[in-house]
Structure 1
């Protein structure tokens, strides 16, 4: 049996629980792992350290996807459409550099695609897109309690108030991109 070559993307859109829940529903996305990237403090940071805003890390997800089923470009269109990429260092009530909108590119091709998608999508936003585009330098996986958060806690207040509206938007705008069993 031939296995299909997967690619990786590392994306931050505020709280990693939100973007994890959204991207897990996309056809072609094989796995989504919550974690931290982009920090200036060496070593594996804790959730508490990242939440302090002092490490420079962003809450992100590492996405493994099949480019034959969803392109990096299309992944970025969904990403930019399901959070507010025009707010600097915040999403909703979450504030600080750890909640910034960011695309950590894995290579020059991803960087070029990211910049192109941002330019292409800018006319759809009333404010300037401030999503950071930076090279990936590290990725630290978050603790197990932060993985699959929405799937394990769909009735939690945060999930119902913050994540459910993002999922409704995803399902409305990108119904043709969703996994068939979701």
Structure 2
């Protein structure tokens, strides 16, 4: 009823009505799918998020796409995101295929130049990561890891001599 009213009137009315309803549908779908749907981004999550935005924009601005079709499209993407993340939690090979793995860029103050080249990271970016964590000297750093979401984890040297168990899944260690 609202969709028919919106479609038969001015495009601004269509955008207001359909946009509001599709936005509410997206919020409901995201709440039903859980926190993981829009968690910290890796390439996989980024693609899903951009696709959700594209569907929402299409439904919002196009009078040719019915609201129900847009909601089904949003639900389909969120459903696949849920299934794939569910599988990745239960299967390590599947998780690595979908998300990749973190990469060691620096170990015990020494840059891993092969890893920097492979990941297309400059030494300047690594130094900036150290500075952002309050470090002044690469030799003070135990490890720098490029995480699967593109962020740098900087682990400073400690005097405790504890193991580096947090680095167990890092490529290059």
Task: Return the TM-score normalized by structure 1.
Answer: 0.21
Greater C-alpha radius of gyration: 2
TM-score normalized with structure 2 length: 0.21
Larger relative contact order (Cα-Cα within 8 Å, sequence gap ≥ 6): 1
Higher strand share: 1
